[in-house]
Amino acid sequence: EDQVTQSPEALRLQEGESSSLNCSYTVSGLRGLFWYRQDPGKGPEFLFTLYSAGEEKEKERLKATLTKKESFLHITAPKPEDSATYLCAVQGNSGYALNFGKGTSLLVTP
Amino acid sequence: NAGVMQNPRHLVRRRGQEARLRCSPMKGHSHVYWYRQLPEEGLKFMVYLQKENIIDESGMPKERFSAEFPKEGPSILRIQQVVRGDSAAYFCASSPDGSYEQYFGPGTRLTVT
């Protein structure tokens, strides 16, 4: 059974203080690993898809990386508007469902 | 380009009533997925549909829940005889042919009183 574990559950950063969020996964044949951002009361907003170990993708202050067992979301010099819950999900070769972790709640203070 | 649309955004039902949640996918997307997010829990897959077909309903409760995606019109998630435990946020996502990326709507928050 696919499993996704995200850590930490919550993270508080000062503005400009870089850090990383972790997503550990087990899946029988990875089709893709997905990162989303979710603001309170809203739907998940798509950020990145990673398909194979060694792949990296960047968008503004965010960079996602992938190994065979985990993915990291690196946040460089975060701003208060980066505060949100970041969700990681995996999709296995056996189906189309996304299996989500419980997320990391990020708070960036000025 | 409008995103995934869901309505209503908030729905209150009394125990035993029926709830109908609607989802219009993004333009050009023919794949629809429904997920449920319970308080303090992660998003859980419920069902995957293409036009007029249910492809994977492995996450759907066996009773009271059904989904459809007709040839014309939005996808519908129907919950019969709602119970307090059905209170949750229900999200719809869509994807185009040839892509695994799923784009989510704003959700419907169902409250059962």
Q: Which tens digit of pLDDT belongs to each residue from B56-112?
A: 999 999 999 999 999 999 999 999 999 999 999 999 999 999 888 999 999 999 999
Task: Tell me how crowded residue B50 is: count the other CB atoms within 10 A of its CB.
Answer: 12
Per-residue confidence band for B16, with pLDDT thresholds at 50, 70 and 90: very high
A chain contacts of residue B41, beta-carbon cutoff 8 Å? 102
pLDDT for the residue numbered A94:
85
pLDDT for the residue numbered B2:
76
What's chain A's average pLDDT?
A: 96
Helix, strand, coil abundance in chain A, percent, nearest 5 = 5, 60, 40
CB contact under 8 A, A97 and B31: no
Rounded CA separation B14/A107 (Å) = 36
pLDDT for the residue numbered A71:
98
Rounded CA separation A70/A13 (Å) = 22
pLDDT for the residue numbered A64:
98
pLDDT for the residue numbered B95:
95
- Residue A61's region, left for phi above 0, alpha for psi from -120 to 50, else beta, is alpha
Nearest CA in chain B to A34: B101
User: What is the tens place of the pLDDT at every residue in A16-25?
Assistant: 999 999 999 9
Closest of A27, A43, A44, A24 to residue A35, by C-alpha? A44
Using the Cβ of B59 and the Cβ atoms of chain A, whether some distance falls under 8 Å is answered with yes
B46 Cβ contact partners less than 8 Å away, ≥ 6 residues apart: B33, B34, B35, B36, B57, B59, B60, B65, B67, B77
A29 Cβ contact partners less than 8 Å away, ≥ 6 residues apart: A92, A93, A94
Closest of A55, A51, A42, A52 to residue A87, by C-alpha? A42
Amino acid at the residue A99: N
Of B43, B56, B106, the CB nearest to A95: B56
Task: Tell me how crowded residue B84 is: count the other CB atoms within 10 A of its CB.
Answer: 9
CB contact under 8 A, A34 and B101: yes
Per-residue confidence band for B40, with pLDDT thresholds at 50, 70 and 90: confident
Rounded CA separation A1/A8 (Å) = 22
Per-residue confidence band for B1, with pLDDT thresholds at 50, 70 and 90: low
Find residue B56's DSSP bridge partners. Answer: B48
* Residue A9 contacts residue A86 (beta carbons within 8 Å): no
Q: How far is CA B112 from the centre of its chain?
A: 17
User: What is the tens place of the pLDDT at every residue in A35-71?
Assistant: 999 999 999 999 999 999 999 999 999 999 999 999 9
Per-residue confidence band for A28, with pLDDT thresholds at 50, 70 and 90: confident
